[in-house]
């Protein structure tokens, strides 16, 4: 069956890059030239179509990925503009999971920057074909070929320039298509382009770079390499076909250039998107599992296949309620129809389906393969869920997100706002999978964890603006513990006579340390009925009471074994309450005699850093009382594994970025409690 032309002409792409490389500016020019918007916005003025959040417009950065669509030369292009800041890397992660192609934007002055490496690795992870756009060619210091070289060196890629710039810095005026042999010179701000022959002063350079391009493309195709080696002419059509095939197979990356701010090269970028990035038909069939049998299931990219889609984003819209974005991989579904959510096993109604343009919506009657849309009011569908035909269930590969690396405590200014704060955090964590919210009973704090300080700043700002809750924000206290180093014996005696029934209980017990992480053990060794059986549980409760508040700083005592060895009772005056109080008194006495010490939480730490920064990283870890377990090299990348006290890890995300020019990353997880060093004893005593 002949594939429908709609699918052949569909392109699902995302703009990804380091912060300030120009993604949003490129998107604005693309939408303007394609007729999707009629006025070009500016990031600095806060007037762009895609950066619609108040925080985005104030700070001049993209915070949340925004979807839109346009048409260009017969192609239907769905676009997702993603954030560049590392704190919002989850937005890039979920976008790349559902896209067919990516446009990686580089600053012609800076070349490959730290976040460029991160998004490139993310695109590799999801096997997303991509092309490169070297932006800002009109800036002082711009160097197209230096940027191409940095792509080769730092990203281990095979870039193939299919354009050459005409001039650079203040002399940059356009680009030359190395395949077609035509110059595209922008004439004015309205986006008009003069197309003509290669200028005489660039002819020699053009021939040199064209020959190099032909050789690189021919190397990817057996038939073309034979023609090339035998000196036969290779047609432009053959070059384009081979380049498209090699791009889709991840073997090469086409590179174009321009200056989005001044409308140089944006039209040719759009042409390259249509010519070289894949359609949904070019991608491998969606693969998943049968929820009942666990066997692999495939969905062909066809309108006739059973419906399957992946939800990749949830948003709380203040006007219409909850929006869930999804990408259709096979089949079709009409508005109002029911589909199956394979995670919950329940039906979900696609009541109202909309196509998004930033925060604006257009209603759709139906969604088909390749569409990126949103459903209004889907209550039980979350990020990573599969929506599918009820009679043909499938679970598509979900989306994985990095773990949070930094936490702060938040509390409302007034008690009456507590419920509103909880509601706000529930909605925000539903939108953002990298935002973790926990309530720490031990210290009475609501703790939010995220990807960085900016990430949490934005969350707190959104709580204030969108949910009208003003919060106090502070660093969470470290939850220390206490333990004992030796054996200790304690005695608790409660004797009270008040004229009527008194209170009498006498308890003798011993305490001893156990291994870290082993918890608490209670052993009854009372013999001869010194304490009746019915009072033993009360003694154990009293011991628990004492262990909740340690003698040094009031933190819980852990990893101890308590043995009840003897005691006495009174037939009339003894009671459960009396033995509970005596048990607590005896435990406190035993702990104080057993060498109590403070413990602090220690985190398992893994750092991935370029080798050139290894010395600085290790020096900083030494100052933070970290212990190194291993250092392993893989090419230029070093993997450092060790442990670090939690109290020394606050603010580490920013410090590590400063030490490594933003090129290193790290992950932490709790490992165990360990005795606090002498320097930290005073801090722990004061609640540090």
Planar angle of CA 342, 344, 348, nearest 5 degrees: 75
* Contact yes or no for 518/557 (Cβ under 8 A): no
pLDDT at 682 over 50: no
User: What token pair was written down for 507?
Assistant: 């308890």
pLDDT at 116: 80
* Contact yes or no for 510/487 (Cβ under 8 A): yes
pLDDT at 50 over 60: no
User: How would you classify the pairing of strands 101-107 and 130-135?
Assistant: parallel
- Return the closest-CA partner of residue 81 out of 125, 112, 37: 37
pLDDT at 178: 93
Map tokens 């262990």 to a residue.
547
The DSSP result for 319-358, as a single string, is: TTEEEEEEEEEESEEETT-EEEETTTTEEEE--EEEEEET
As a three-state string, the secondary structure of 256-322 is EECEHHHCECHHHHHHHHHHHCCCHHHCCCEEEECCCCCCEEEECCCCCCCCEEEEEEEEEECCCEE
pLDDT at 41 over 60: no
Beta bridge partners of 437: 448
Residue 112's SS3 state is: coil
CATH architecture, domain 286-396: Beta Barrel (2.40)
Residue 441's SS3 state is: coil
Report residue 186 CA to chain centroid gap: 39
Q: How confident is the model at residue 403 (pLDDT cuts 50, 70, 90)?
A: low
Q: 487-498 as b/e, with b when 16 or more CB fall inside 10 Å? A: ebbbebebeeee
Mean pLDDT, the chain, as a whole number? 84
Q: How confident is the model at residue 572 (pLDDT cuts 50, 70, 90)?
A: confident
CATH architecture, domain 5-282: 3-Layer(aba) Sandwich (3.40)
Map tokens 């993997």 to a residue.
639
pLDDT at 340: 92
Q: Which residue has the higher pLDDT, 160 or 358?
A: 160
Mean pLDDT, residues 616-640: 87
Q: How confident is the model at residue 55 (pLDDT cuts 50, 70, 90)?
A: low
pLDDT at 604 over 90: no
Task: State the CATH class of domain 598-685.
Answer: alpha beta
- Return the closest-CA partner of residue 270 out of 23, 20, 12, 33: 33
For the chain, the domains span 5-282, 286-396, 407-473, 482-594, 598-685
Mean pLDDT, residues 198-210: 90
Residue 674's SS3 state is: strand
pLDDT at 687: 44
The hierarchical CATH code for the domain 407-473 is 3.30.70.870
User: How would you classify the pairing of strands 520-524 and 560-568?
Assistant: parallel
Q: Which residue has the higher pLDDT, 317 or 87?
A: 317
Most confident stretch, 139-148, 411-420, 443-452, 495-504: 139-148
- Return the closest-CA partner of residue 628 out of 614, 616, 648, 642: 642
| pLDDT tens profile 467-487 | 888 888 886 566 788 999 999
pLDDT at 54: 54
Mean pLDDT, residues 586-601: 91
* Contact yes or no for 325/311 (Cβ under 8 A): yes
Largest CA distance in the chain: 117
pLDDT at 455 over 60: yes
* Contact yes or no for 325/373 (Cβ under 8 A): yes
Lowest mean pLDDT across 82-96, 279-293, 361-375, 444-458: 82-96
How many H-runs (helices) and E-runs (strands) does the chain carry? Answer: 17, 37
DSSP 8-class letter at 111? B
pLDDT at 302: 84
pLDDT at 544 over 50: yes
* Contact yes or no for 312/383 (Cβ under 8 A): yes
pLDDT at 88 over 80: no
Distances (CA, A) of 10 to 27, 217, 279: 17, 24, 5
The CB density around residue 44, as the number of other CB atoms within 10 Å, is 9
Planar angle of CA 133, 109, 70, nearest 5 degrees: 25
Q: Which residue has the higher pLDDT, 321 or 432?
A: 432
Is the fold of 407-473 the same as that of 598-685? yes
| pLDDT tens profile 137-176 | 988 888 999 999 989 988 889 999 999 999 888 888 889 9
Q: How confident is the model at residue 408 (pLDDT cuts 50, 70, 90)?
A: confident
Rounded Cα–Cα distance for residues 9 and 23 (Å): 23
pLDDT at 500: 65
Distances (CA, A) of 339 to 203, 398, 630: 59, 18, 50
pLDDT at 457 over 60: yes
Q: Which residue has the higher pLDDT, 226 or 498?
A: 226
| pLDDT tens profile 242-269 | 999 999 999 999 999 999 888 888 889 9
User: What token pair was written down for 437?
Assistant: 């919210």
Rounded Cα–Cα distance for residues 416 and 337 (Å): 41
The hierarchical CATH code for the domain 482-594 is 3.30.230.10
pLDDT at 191: 52
- Return the closest-CA partner of residue 567 out of 528, 537, 600: 528
């Amino acid at each position: 069956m002949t594939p429908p032309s709609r699918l052949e002409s569909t392109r699902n792409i995302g703009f990804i890059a380091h912060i300030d490389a120009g993604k949003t500016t490129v998107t604005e020019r693309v939408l303007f030239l394609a007729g999707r918007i009629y006025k070009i916005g500016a990031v600095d003025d806060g007037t762009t179509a895609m950066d619609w959040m108040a925080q985005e417009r104030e700070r001049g950065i993209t915070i949340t990925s925004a979807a839109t669509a346009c048409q260009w030369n017969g192609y239907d292009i769905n676009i997702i503009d993603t954030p560049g800041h590392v704190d919002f890397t989850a937005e890039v992660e979920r976008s790349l999971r559902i896209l067919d192609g990516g446009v990686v934007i580089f600053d012609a002055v800076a070349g490959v920057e730290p976040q460029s490496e991160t998004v490139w690795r993310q695109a590799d992870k999801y096997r997303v074909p991509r092309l490169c756009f070297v932006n800002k060619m009109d800036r002082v210091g711009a160097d197209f070929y230096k940027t191409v070289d940095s792509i080769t060196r730092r990203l281990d890629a095979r870039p193939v320039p299919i354009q050459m710039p005409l001039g650079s810095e203040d002399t940059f005026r356009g680009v030359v298509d190395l395949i077609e042999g035509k110059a595209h010179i922008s004439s004015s701000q309205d986006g008009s382009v003069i197309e003509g022959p290669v200028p005489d002063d660039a002819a020699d350079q053009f021939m040199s770079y064209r020959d190099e391009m032909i050789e690189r493309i021919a190397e990817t195709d057996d038939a073309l390499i034979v023609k090339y080696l035998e000196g036969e002419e290779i047609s432009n059509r053959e070059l384009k076909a081979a380049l498209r095939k090699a791009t889709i197979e991840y073997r090469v990356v086409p590179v174009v250039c321009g200056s989005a701010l001044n409308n140089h090269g944006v039209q040719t970028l759009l042409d390259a998107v249509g010519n070289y990035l894949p359609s949904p038909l070019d991608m491998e069939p969606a693969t998943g599992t049968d929820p009942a049998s666990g066997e692999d299931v495939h969905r062909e990219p066809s309108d006739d296949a059973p419906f399957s889609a992946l939800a990749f984003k949830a948003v709380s819209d203040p006007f219409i309620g909850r929006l869930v974005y999804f990408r259709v991989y096979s089949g079709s579904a009409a508005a109002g129809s029911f589909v199956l959510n394979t995670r919950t096993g329940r039906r979900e109604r696609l009541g109202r389906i909309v196509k998004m343009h930033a925060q604006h919506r257009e209603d759709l009657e139906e969604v088909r393969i390749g569409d990126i849309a949103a459903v209004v009011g889907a209550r039980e569908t979350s990020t990573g869920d599969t929506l599918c035909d009820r009679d043909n269930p499938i679970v598509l590969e979900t989306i994985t997100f990095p773990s949070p690396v930094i936490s702060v405590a938040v509390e409302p200014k007034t008690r009456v706002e507590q419920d509103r704060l909880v509601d706000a955090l529930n909605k925000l964590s539903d939108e953002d999978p990298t935002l973790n919210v926990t309530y720490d009973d031990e210290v009475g704090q609501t703790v939010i964890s995220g990807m960085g300080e900016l990430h949490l700043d934005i969350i707190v700002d959104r709580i204030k603006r969108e949910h009208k809750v003003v919060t106090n924000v502070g660093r969470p206290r470290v939850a220390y513990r206490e333990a004992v180093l030796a054996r200790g014996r304690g005695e608790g005696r409660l004797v009270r006579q008040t004229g009527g029934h008194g209170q009498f209980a006498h308890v003798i017990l011993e305490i001893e340390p156990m291994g870290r992480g082993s918890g608490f053990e209670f052993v009854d060794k009372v013999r001869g009925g010194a304490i009746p059986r019915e009072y033993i549980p009360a003694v154990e409760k009293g011991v628990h009471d004492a262990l909740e508040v340690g003698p040094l700083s009031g933190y819980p005592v852990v990893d101890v074994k308590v043995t009840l060895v003897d005691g006495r009772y009174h037939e009339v005056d003894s009671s459960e309450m009396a033995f509970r109080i005596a048990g607590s008194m005896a435990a406190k006495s035993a702990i104080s005699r057993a060498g109590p010490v403070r413990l602090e939480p220690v985190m398992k730490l893994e750092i991935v850093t370029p080798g050139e920064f290894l010395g600085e990283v290790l020096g900083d870890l030494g100052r933070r009382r970290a212990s190194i377990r291993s250092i392993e090299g893989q090419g230029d990348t070093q993997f450092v594994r060790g442990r670090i006290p939690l109290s020394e890890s606050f603010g580490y995300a920013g410090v590590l970025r400063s030490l490594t020019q933003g090129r290193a990353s790290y992950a932490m997880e709790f490992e165990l409690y360990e005795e606090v060093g002498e320097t930290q004893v005073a801090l722990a005593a004061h609640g540090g």
